[in-house]
Structure formats: structure tokens, C-alpha cells
Structure 1
Amino acid sequence: MTSISDDEFEHLLTAFDTSSIHLETRDAYGTEIELPHMAQWAAGEHDDLEWLQGWCSTVREHVAAGRTVRRARILSEPLSDYQRWSHSIAHPMVAAGEDIRWVPRRRTSSVLIPGNDFYLFDDRLVVFLHYSGNGLGVDKVASTAPGDIERCRRAFDEVWQLAIPHGEYKPV
């Protein structure tokens, strides 16, 4: 496994050939980009979500080219404030073509899940996302090991079978 830079990761998000899958397993994150927007939401202030438009444009390009972008979010219920906020801002990404699904953690008790969130690109490269206790990203580690790819693929597929599409999930 090898650490990759933010620039290398950003390239992977745009350069895959057929599919990108992303499994999120934490109840809260603290990404530097998101924190100010979540604070606005917590204060009841309007957010035009303009900051999401770059990602939405990327998703639309992938979908137009026949590539799939899927994300499964495992979460505890009742939802954390982060997950309530995350659900409230997902609609532009879903409208752009990202298939986002929500999975109550209680549904995943018998699913073996890798110890870190991950992206799997084209079933050939997995990137594990490492976070500190407060949710800030601290590292991204890439692997092409067949065992890592198979375990991540299997975990995502099992979680996906239990997942609720964004439009049908009602936050608890």
C-alpha cells in the first residue's frame, strides 16, 4: 500500500474508465471543505451549495460517458448532525447522476466491512481513506492487491443490497 497525494486522488476521481464506488462508514467527518457549510446549516443559514457544483459537473460528465458513480453511507440512527446535514445536501449530487444510498448500521451487523472508508475504481484500484478521531482526513492509501480489491468489492456489494436509495430514505 502506498500513500497518495490529494492531487493524485483528485485525478483518480476523474480518470476512471467504468465505475467508482465509495463506502462511507463514519457517523461524522470534519473535512475542511465541509465544516463551514455544515456550520451554516447548524445556524439555520442558507447555503446555495455552489461549492458542490464542481463535483456535480464531474458526475454529469461520468454519467454522460456511461460511467457509474455509486456511494453507500452506513450510518447510525438516530442520525448524527453530520449525517442529517449530509442528507440535506445530497440532492444536487443525486440529480447529477451519483447513486447515493443510505444504510442503517443495524442492517450491516453480519457484513464484514474493511476498517476504513474506501473508493474502488474500475475493480482494479482501491483507495483507503484514513481519518483522525475528529473526522479530518489524514491519509489516502492506494492498493492494487487482489485481496484488498476483492474484500472491498464484496463488502460494497453486500452493503449495496441492504441500502436505501436517497429519494426513499427518511432520516431518523
Structure 2
Amino acid sequence: MPRNAQQPSFAECLRGMVRSAVHLETRDDYGDNERFAAWRRGAGIDWDDRASWWRPFHDQIAAAVERGVVVRRARVVSGPVSEYIRWEHAMTRANPAAGEQVRRVPRRLASDLALPCNDFWLFDDRLARIHHFAGDGSLVEDEFSTDSAVLKLFAASFEAAWERGISHEEYRI
């Protein structure tokens, strides 16, 4: 996809899927945000108050899953985990509630895997949304690719990580 082409939103990417959407995350920190800062100050989540934690992202995932799209996320994490990953683990309960399957891959179990340097979403093995982050964890930009070599690499690397992953429900911090 040319760099100056109109880039689709995440919602548009997900709406166009019919089979699968997979997400590989490899960072231990994605920068500060309001929800993370609140958690660090001791704010908890009232899981009985769905409106307080359910986000438009969850609506998008739930709608895709309802259409039959399998949505999976593999997170490669260091051990001991960072404070950010500890928070992310606490918040992940919302993802399976929307229908997304989540696994964590301890970094020590991924040493022999060929994983891309960037996080990505792969939609139906035909469109990659590649995330570029700054050193502080903030998102710099997303790049899109339909290059068959990139798609093949991403699909294989995701599946390799997924096979090593531990389900969110079983993973212990």
C-alpha cells in the first residue's frame, strides 16, 4: 500500500474481515495513558459496571466475532513483568468478554522464534497494520502492507507465538 494512500481505520479493517484478525504485541511498555495512570494511583475496575470499562474497541471486536471472525492476540512478555504489563493483564478481562482470545508468551520461551521487530495486526492474511512506536512506547504511526512476503512472515510468526502462548485465564503474574 503506498505511504500516501488513505489508511483505513481499525474499525474499517475489522469490518472488512470474514475469517480472522490476529494481533502480535512484543513490547513491555506502551507509554503512559489516563487509565494506566489511574491504576497506578490505586483505582480499580468495577467489573460489574460494564459501562465503566467497555470501550468502542470492544464493540468492534464483539461485532466481528458475532460475524464469525476469529480474533486472537499474542503478547510476548518479559519476566518479571513490567508495571505496564501487570496493568494490562488486569485490564485484559475485557478482551475475552468481547470474544477476543488472548495468550501471553513468556519472552524466555520465544528465543528461538523469528518474530518481527514491530507489533502488528493481520487481517484475513491479506492486510497488515504495522505499528511503529517511539522509545517511550508512544505510537508514532501505522504502516499498512499487502506485500505477500510480509503477510506470510507475519502469519507464520503469529502462529508460532500463539502455539507457545499461555491463555489469559491461565497466565499468572
Does the CA contact (< 8 Å) of 1:37 and 1:47 recur in 2? no
Select the residue among 143, 149, 160 that pairs with 2:162. Answer: 160
Percent identical pairs in the alignment equals 38
Aligned residues: 168
SS of the residue 1:84 aligns to: helix
**1:55 Cα deviation (Å)?**
1.6
1:133 to 132, 135, 138: 135
Change (3 A) 1:5 1:39: farther
Q: Going by fraction, where is helix more abundant, 1 or 2?
A: 1
Structure 2 stretches of 5 or more lacking a match? none
For 1:7-45, what per-residue CA distance to the aligned partner results, in whole angstroms no more than 9, with x for missing partners? 5334213332211000000000026xxx11101111102
Measured in 2, the distance between the counterparts of 1:131 and 1:25 equals 11
What is the letter of the counterpart of residue 165 of structure 1? S
Give the match for residue 66 of structure 2. Answer: 64
CA RMSD of aligned residues (A): 1.8
SS of the residue corresponding to residue 56 of structure 1 reads helix
Taking the TM superposition and a 5 Å limit, the aligned residue runs for 1:1-172 are 2-3=2-3, 8-30=9-31, 35-48=33-46, 50=52, 52-171=54-173
Find the aligned partners of 2:91 and 2:60 in 1 and give their Cα distance: 17
Greater alpha carbon shift after TM alignment, 91-100 vs 39-48: 39-48
Deviation digits for residues 105-126 of structure 1 (CA, Å, limit 9, x no counterpart): 0000000011100110001111
Q: TM-score, normalised by structure 1?
A: 0.90
Please say which of residues 1-10 and 67-76 is displaced more in the overlay. 1-10
